[in-house]
Structure 1
Amino acid sequence: MGLDHIPADQDWFVPNASMAGPFAPTHSEVVAQDLQVIGDLPADLNGMYVRNGPSPAHAPHGKYHWFDGDGMLHSVRFQGGRATYRNRWVQTDGLKAETEAGQSLWPGLKERMPEGALPDDAMKNTSNTDVKFHNGTLYSMWYRGGAVYTVDPGSLTTLGKLETDPRLVGLQISAHSRVDEATGEFVFFAYGNRHPYMHHGVIGADGALKSLVPVELPGPRLPHDMAITRNYSVLHDFPLINNPEALARGRYSLEFRQDWPTRFAVIPRHGTADQIRWFEFQPRYMLHVANAWEEVNAQGETEIVMLGTPYANPRGYDGGLDVQRLLFTIGTQGTDYELYQWRMNLTTGATREGIVDDILNTEFPMINTRYQGVKNRYTYNVLMGRPRTLEQPHFAGLVKYDLQTGAALAYHPGEGYWFSEAPFAPRDGATEEDDGYVVGFVWNGLANRSEVWVTDARDIAKGPVARVILPQRVPHGFHSCWVRDDQLSAARVA
């Protein structure tokens, strides 16, 4: 195994539930080739898996939350049956300032903000949440919204900020934006604690901002994701908010207003503010969308269908929503989800919604990205384990849903393994939606090491066909993407 090791300038460990085991930070940037493989890496798997996640570069002061860590990208490049691993911190403005100071400077999610400062102003944009490939580069993003950092897909070197237009400067772009491979467009939303509280925008395949539209909300909200179809975007307004009084004092305090509906805004991708249509549903809260598409029903009416994994609504003894239990689950990173569907009729304005699966507890849905915005048959979700401790969500396995037949296949190797969000990777020359692999990091707690597992997408239940042993721990993290070999070649990545 060849290893190019860049030593870290400090070695520290702070006892904390969110900094132990698979959550413990990594302090080195490395490049490793000719990695050991258990099984056989498929020769027709060519491309790059890259995942974002937190790994604090400096010892935090005060209480540490898993979401606070500095963004670190980890990639595995697959070429001709061989794998190369590398990782690098995203060099955000905040990380640069802390590196110069030699210590942590910003408060974390559990800390009180400076007097009079909104959390948006006082928290560091760690760029630790999601990563997308667009216009030849990787985009690294933060869940609270902020500047998007551009990263070279080959070296993982931070190139700068995505500020190709003056209107993007200072805009709090959310981590969960979408890339339409059919048009090459990057569709995003931005949100924050200042009026109008949300924006919708589109960046073209050439990197130029094509549209930016304000989306009026009644007040600050906590959206997390969005959806796109071929012609529309779907933006979220859930009844989960920060308590206004606490927010004014620089603190987070979640409230769920069960008397408010869930609202979805449907806007033509290149539309204007006056074209936004709102659809109301039962009060729920959701983090991640699987996909959305346009569908013509038996009456010839166009519906937008959106599939996602909202939190299950816990019920009290009286059958009503147990709001405190829901807030506790959300606030402590508990895992209790359902696969759910919403339908919005663009012709009549009617809505429908319902549970697709409330048996398997799954989240972090991924699809074959060629089907982004059009009707897909399969989703690949993380199987969530039962919580053992607070603030340590256990990603316990994988589930493949067949939306056409209603079937689900699950794989769970037993105690001691922690999975990551696992994107679909098409095999070379694939013609069918599920002709390929599911690729993701796995923390092997039994062997105390990180691995990359490659699983045949058509036979999830059999487990991995290959396990790549990594040279260092990959801390438990968030979102990922697969970049095909032809995309890397177009971006001139060697």
Structure 2
Amino acid sequence: MASAARLDSINDCNPYLHGLYAPQLQEFTALDLPVIGELPKDLHGAYVRNGPNPAAWPSAPHHWFDGDGMVHSIYFENGRAEYRNRFVRTDDHVADLNGGCGAGGVLMPAARDRGERGYKDTANTDLVMHGGSLLALWYISGVPVRMHPRTLETIRSERFGGALPRHVSAHSKVDPVTSEFVFFDYALYEPWMSFGTVSRDNVLTHFTTVDLPGPRLPHDMGLTENYVILHDLPVVFTEAGLRNRQWRIQTEPRPARFGVVPRTGTGDQVRWFETDPCYIYHVANAWDDGDEVVMHACRMVPNGFTPNPAYGPFGAMVNVLALHAVPVEWRFHMKTGAVRQRQLDDRLGEFPTVNQGYVGRRSRWSYNVSMAPDELQRFDGLLKYDLTTGDCTAHPFAEGHAGSEAAFAPRIGAVDEDDGYVISFVTDPDGRSEVQVIAAQAFADAPIARIPLPGRVPAGFHGTWAPGDQIR
């Protein structure tokens, strides 16, 4: 086995440990921040964003997805703002602080003595508001971590009163009307996935498994008022990956399948719809429309890159991380079994978000990041889509700047779906970070407020809006 020093030298050519992607080791608390422009008094709550942030320099080949979770929060009230960033204190993060959790990242074989999930659980991927606090979630499926959205204090590893059946995947959803947390999970090496529901009072009220032809690697799900939409997509582990418990994936020559099932249904009630082969990382929204179930998501397209030898053994990782996708609408007819799909635009974008009050219900607007035409994953602007017409309004960042997945913050007293603000962390080429607040109904205009931050916010993953009146 290679020495730690040798592995450290390998990581020296890993671009996802340097520059925009270098970890931020300091935890800041900055109150009453300076504002360029003016913060509206009707903006109340916290914009929070998760992402990978190694707490120590990796001693093994590092994948960008491996970093310890770090959440950044900007809290607004009465025209003032305060910023904090904190590590997500998962059980594995705490174990590492105390000598080592015994598991590594996805470029190494999974630890066989840790059950099926043999990788370090970082809770570094997504955030949702449930029961007055945040749940930090992990893309491979792990144990959610409950955090306070303003202070970012880790409250506990959340096992729903001991009733958590197994794990929870990153892109589980919260119904804004019922306040239920609807989650899914998948088996890495066995032919099934599952989904369930946790009430607003943190009680597990439903759970079922769904049999599959083989192990699958879904990343997201759809949620409507009446249904869950599960993804069975033709990107899976290779046979060698399954045999050796290594993260090695391949594309299978078969259609994509979407499983539509009642939210309180069982696995044998799933209605499968086959359509063109594709992979989907992220769903914008889904809803019921008469006899049809509608889902909007970003469908991956080839990025045209080949592994760059400058990145050494990380060339293939860099190539896969160049997420090139386009917005697509799918319609599943529950009576005829027909599937219709419509591509809204050919611009490259990803990480879609909507007004959280419309999750699972018909919505008109989606706010996506624009992907820079680079090898490395960089968000060079935002795109506001009209999901009805496909029309798009662009909000580019300054040259060389990089943003984050945005969140929509409804204005206090809002009357329309887009009556509010779009918020993002933005970092310039010199590593200076700020928060930008954009008026959603004047999306192409300059930000109405910019808030310089005391430290750099590394590139990361997903964020959400925590309304001030819901923060406990």
Aligned partner of 1:225 in structure 2 is: 220
2:329–2:344: 8 Å Cα contact kept in structure 1?
yes
Alpha-carbon distance, 1:87 to partner:
1.2
Match of 2:323, SS state, is coil
Alpha-carbon distance, 1:172 to partner:
2.3
Alpha-carbon distance, 1:117 to partner:
6.8
Matched, 1:402 2:386: yes
Counterparts in 2 of 1:9-24, with a 5 A limit?
Answer: 15=12, 16-24=14-22
Matched, 1:422 2:406: yes
Q: Indicate how the Cα distance of structure 1 residues 314 and 79 shifts in structure 2: closer, same or farther if over 3 A, else same.
A: closer
RMSD: 2.1
2:303–2:324: 8 Å Cα contact kept in structure 1?
no
Aligned partner of 1:235 in structure 2 is: 230
| Matched-pair identity in % | 43
Aligned partner of 2:449 in structure 1 is: 466
Residue identity in the other structure for 1:205: R
CA distance in 1 between counterparts of 2:157 and 2:110 reads 25
Any gaps of 5 or more consecutive residues in structure 1?
1-11, 297-301, 316-326
CA distance in 1 between counterparts of 2:162 and 2:114 reads 23
Alpha-carbon distance, 1:39 to partner:
1.4
Matched, 1:197 2:199: no
Aligned partner of 1:80 in structure 2 is: 78
Aligned partner of 1:141 in structure 2 is: 137
Matched, 1:161 2:152: no
Which is worse superposed, 54-63 or 428-437?
54-63
Alpha-carbon distance, 1:118 to partner:
8.8
Aligned partner of 2:418 in structure 1 is: 434
Residue identity in the other structure for 1:404: T
Aligned partner of 2:327 in structure 1 is: 339
Match of 1:59 among 57, 60, 79: 57
CA distance in 2 between counterparts of 1:180 and 1:330 reads 35
CA distance in 1 between counterparts of 2:390 and 2:424 reads 24
Aligned partner of 1:444 in structure 2 is: 428
Residue identity in the other structure for 2:355: N
Match of 1:121, SS state, is coil
Matched, 1:26 2:15: no
Aligned partner of 2:311 in structure 1 is: none
Aligned partner of 1:4 in structure 2 is: none
Which is worse superposed, 268-277 or 159-168?
159-168
Residue identity in the other structure for 1:282: D
Alpha-carbon distance, 1:313 to partner:
5.2
CA distance in 1 between counterparts of 2:397 and 2:468 reads 30
1:380–1:398: 8 Å Cα contact kept in structure 2?
yes
Match of 1:370 among 350, 354, 357: 357
Any gaps of 5 or more consecutive residues in structure 2?
1-7, 305-314
Matched, 1:477 2:460: yes
Residue identity in the other structure for 1:108: G
Match of 1:211 among 200, 206, 211: 206
Match of 1:139, SS state, is strand
Alpha-carbon distance, 1:365 to partner:
0.6
TM-score by length of 1: 0.88
Deviation string, structure 1 residues 266-291 (Cα, Å, up to 9, x no partner) = 11111122221111111100100001
Residue identity in the other structure for 1:431: V
2:61–2:108: 8 Å Cα contact kept in structure 1?
yes
Alpha-carbon distance, 1:330 to partner:
8.6
Aligned partner of 2:94 in structure 1 is: 96
Aligned length: 453
Match of 1:467, SS state, is strand
1:284–1:313: 8 Å Cα contact kept in structure 2?
no
TM-score by length of 2: 0.91
1:140–1:151: 8 Å Cα contact kept in structure 2?
yes
2:103–2:119: 8 Å Cα contact kept in structure 1?
yes
Residue identity in the other structure for 1:486: D
Alpha-carbon distance, 1:328 to partner:
6.3
2:103–2:110: 8 Å Cα contact kept in structure 1?
no
